[in-house]
Amino acid sequence: MPSPTAVLFRKECRVALRSTATWCVFAACASLVGLFFAFALREAAGGPATLPELFCTPLALAAPLPAAFFTMGLFARERHNGTLETLLTAPVTDAQTVLAKFSAACLLSLVALVLCLPVFHAYLRFAAPPPPWDARSFAAGCGAVAAATVLWTALGTFFSLLCRHESAAGAATLIAGLGLSLPVSGTVELPVESALEPWSLVAFARGVADTRPIFAALSGAAFFLFFSVRVLESRRWLPSAAA
Amino acid sequence: MMLDVQDLTRRFGRETALDGVSFSADAGERIAVVGRNGAGKTTLLRVLSTFLPADSGRASVAGFDLFSQGGAVRSVVGYLPEGAPLDPDLRVAEYLRFRGRLRRMSGRHLRRRLHDVAAFCGLAPVLSTRIRALSAGQRHAVGLADAILHEPDVLLFDDPLAAADAVQAREFARLLASPEISEGRLVLFSTHDAGLVRAAATRVLFLERGRLAADTTSIPLAGSLADWFDRWTHAEC
């Protein structure tokens, strides 16, 4: 008999995959990565940047988009529909609820990024002469992007609990994600690049796998998930079910 | 004793929504919780459903302590919140299957119960319809089916006729009084409808400003709830 966490996880995935908007986000994410990758290739011609570096940079740029999209409705929609009350009176704990919803959003966000990989494959297939690249560096770069995605998803889960409207939760996730990166890099004039800085993406994609940013991303995700559970518990303290 | 509530108190800031409410009830009873808006009816049902914690007091539901065994209480309680909130993106059968699995019902048992409650609540023709396409009455029936799907020992309905028309109200009163719902179970429902109380309740709890002002099994055969409130309020004085 599946656990309530698995049941809730499957339901979230099923509802998301049935939505046309989900497939539009998958397509938009792949298009965005392809577009940025083409720009990066043109700009970096003859430069020192490696091929995994050039691909993982747009991949990391696109990562917050699916994370924000798939998390914005997790709890905000439940509150909007009033179904949070029925969910919280089912025999499932608050931690299980948060974990199931976060896992579903995380998986869908990672799927969106995996669906961008054909862009890289297509370039390798059609480039002449075939460009040299290192698979391990590529895997390390993708791993760093995946860790960042886990953090964005946890952040989005947290904001979805705080906001009543999905769009507000999505916008807050994007803004906070970018805002978290800015103080670290200090390059306010180039926010798009500075968002990548904390994850040492360039180093990862060059094959220098530093575990510190991975640890920072995963512990940051755990931090936001812990607070998400606390916020969900606090919904019970308020007089209104929809509060 | 299916339900035992002692000195239950719940405050929201300075406002006391429930003020030392005590009562007990057995299986087979159908209890109507009545009172003016803000009297504490919804808060009482939310506390008993474990959605809201109480500030003080104690309560047990089907032998489980409400505060230390919340998970066990949830599995023996069927709760229909006001307005019957449902996930509009799911189909009726899908939603009920989801709710059943969430309560750890086994596949065969769930299929059998799904078939039974769909027939009982008149949902068989709309099982494959998306919830967003249902009428208010059908949505309410889905909420009722969800509440009784796992054959709970205690049923809690918060103002079940809030959005019902006269026909739906009559139909709900019939369902509530039927043996399928009430036999061997405790049913507790809040309402503003005197007709529903007369048709379905065996006992009435009257809440006034968070306090239990009257607890009676002699249900008036005539008059509106306002008349009853006046009588019970004066009797209390």
Q: Is residue B167 part of a domain?
A: yes
E strands within chain B?
A: 3-12, 15-25, 30-35, 56-61, 64-65, 77-80, 154-158, 186-190, 203-208, 211-216
Above pLDDT 90, what percent of chain A? 40
Domain count, chain B: 1
More confident residue, A14 or B199: A14
- Residue with the two structure tokens 């909007």: A80
Q: Residue A54: inside a domain, yes or no? A: yes
Does B96 map to a domain? no
CB contact under 8 Å between A81 and B85, yes or no, is: yes
**In the prediction, which pLDDT does A178 show?**
66
Tell me if B143 is assigned to some domain. Answer: no
pLDDT tens digits along A121-151: 888 877 777 777 778 888 888 888 888 899 9
Q: Whole domain around residue A222: which residue ranges? A: 4-237
Partner-chain contact A241 B51, CB within 8 Å: yes
Is the CB of residue A129 less than 8 Å away from at least one CB of chain B? no
Q: Does any domain span residue A104?
A: yes
Is B68 part of a structural domain of the chain? yes
pLDDT of residue B177: 83
Note the pLDDT of residue A197: 55
Per residue in B175-212, pLDDT (tens digit) is: 888 888 878 899 999 998 888 888 888 999 999 889 99
Residues in A closer than 8 angstroms to B86, CB to CB, are 81, 83, 86
Please list every residue in chain B whose beta carbon sits closer than 8 Å to the beta carbon of residue A86.
79, 81, 85-86, 99, 146
CATH number at residue B175: 3.40.50.300
Residue A242 lies in a domain: no
Q: Residue B76 in contact with residue B31, Cβ under 8 Å?
A: no
- Is residue B122 in some structural domain? no
Is A81 near chain B, with CB under 8 Å?
Answer: yes
Q: Work out the minimum CA distance from A85 to partner chain B, whole angstroms.
A: 7
Phi and psi at residue A230, to the nearest 5°: -65, -40
Cα–Cα distance measured from residue A59 to residue B111, given in angstroms and rounded to the nearest whole number: 44
**Nearest CB to A15; choose among B90, B104, B106:** B90
For B122-127, what is the mean pLDDT? 91
Q: Is residue B200 part of a domain?
A: yes
Whether residue B163 is contained in a domain is answered as yes
Residue B19 sits in which domain range? 3-84+155-236
Per-residue model confidence as pLDDT tens digits over A93-129 = 999 999 999 999 999 999 999 999 998 888 887 777 7
* Amino acid letter for position A206: R
Q: Is residue A243 part of a domain?
A: no
A7 touches chain B (CB under 8 A): yes
Residue A202's pLDDT is 62
pLDDT confidence tier of residue A181, bands split at 50, 70 and 90: low
ipTM of this model? 0.86
Of residues A54 and B35, more confidently modeled: B35
Distance from the Cα of A97 to chain B's closest Cα (Å) equals 11
CB A188, CB A182: distance < 8 Å: yes
Q: Which of A2, A15, A89 sits opposite B74 (nearest CB)?
A: A89
Is residue A196, in this structure, part of any structural domain at all?
A: yes
Number of compact structural domains in chain A: 1
Residue B19 lies in a domain: yes
